[in-house]
Chain A
Amino acid sequence: GENVEQHPSTLSVQEGDSAVIKCTYSDSASNYFPWYKQELGKRPQLIIDIRSNVGEKKDQRIAVTLNKTAKHFSLHITETQPEDSAVYFCAASKDMRFGAGTRLTVKP
């Protein structure tokens, strides 16, 4: 089945800096890759997604890139703000596998 690995597990940045979270997947049958943000005690919420026919997608300060050949995709957050602090999860559509999560802390 699909296997998704996510790195790093924790990430601390200064406000205004950029943050990058990377995920790799194993099954080339995966064709949809969402990213979810989960604040403490809340439900995961979709923040951006990408399909396998697209290499990059942007939405204001967040972007996702996909390299199908290497089977990895990344979340990029620019100009980070304290409210970006949360746990971020990547996922791959085959078997709906999620990464273990990255706890992002943005220091004011």
Chain B
Amino acid sequence: DAGITQSPRHKVTETGTPVTLRCHQTENHRYMYWYRQDPGHGLRLIHYSYGVKDTDKGEVSDGYSVSRSKTEDFLLTLESATSSQTSVYFCAISPSTDTQYFGPGTRLTVL
């Protein structure tokens, strides 16, 4: 597996609380992505980054924000978590705009 880690791996939180998920890579890849995975929907892109401090929205960005202050770290923040954000979140990295390598995932439960 590519040098990509996610933390935490599991989290249970309550509605209305802020949550930050971290993606860390050791591959020095330019592109980083956040996806959510829900049954029947495959993987849906939330936000992506094409460089330090360069980010853009994906298909399902509402309720999420991201930041990338260093090449190796890409943070996903849920400002006020809702039950509809219960999901498995995957980070992915890529040296270009095609082949992506996924992290191990974070299972988030919002009660």
Contact = CB atoms under 8 A, between A and B. Distances in A.
B98 interface: yes
Contacts of A32: 97-98
A interface, over-half SS: strand
Contacts, number: 49
Interface stretch (B12-20, B21-29, B35-43, B65-73): B35-43
Contact of A46 (B33, B44, B100): B100
B59 A93 contact: no
B43 A89 contact: yes
Q: Interface residues of B toward A: which range?
A: 20 to 34
Nearest to B6: A43
A89 B44 CA distance: 12
Interface string A31-57: 010101000001111100101000000
Contacts of A98: 35, 42-44
Interface residues of A, number: 22
Given A44-B43, A44-B90, A101-B42, A96 B99 contact: no
Interface in A80-98: 89, 91, 93, 95-98
Given A44-B90, A89-B42, A101-B42, A96 B33 contact: yes
B89 to A, nearest CB: 11
Interface string B38-55: 001111110010000000
Interface of A: 1, 6, 32, 34, 36, 42-46, 49, 51, 89, 91, 93, 95-101
